[in-house]
Amino acid sequence: MMIARRADTRARADFATWKMIAKLNGASSLSAEAQNFLASYKTLLEDTSEDEATEATIRLMYKTYYAEMGGVGKPPEVRSVPSEPKLEPKTDNVTAFRRPAARLARPTTFPGASAGGKQQLPVALIFACLIVVYVGIRYFWR
């Protein structure tokens, strides 16, 4: 029964994922097995309602996964929890992914730097510190 639950959970999760990828025009990146299940879903969708086609496809995937996971014989019926949420909401609000516009980097200003001038104080300070470290090392090594 544990194999049956795992197979059912995997079938429901995979189907929801594949269906969302197909809505986002990424079905070509799916495996051949996934594309075959989606094709059978589309043919079932022509003859039946969306809920019936979804359940029929999930049952087909469940049987396949049950056999792959080492289940022997006919797969047992898995009861779904009554409080289980629907597979997908009825609204079709999927938006294709778009990259955000590139942001222009704002110049950073250091305290004490003039608004229009170059920022030479930090560079000079770093250089002076390097000289102090160099002289200190040379002095203590002698």
Q: What is the pLDDT of residues 93-134, one digit of tens each?
A: 666 677 777 777 666 655 555 555 555 567 888 899 999 999
How many Å is the Cα radius of gyration of the chain?
31
Interatomic CA distance for residues 85 and 92, integer angstroms? 17
Token pair belonging to 37: 């299940």
Token pair belonging to 28: 């070509």
Q: CB within 8 A of 28, min separation 6: which ones?
A: none
- 3-state SS, residue 74: coil
pLDDT tens per residue across span 20-53: 888 887 777 778 888 888 888 888 888 888 888 8
List phi, psi (to 5°) of 12: -65, -40
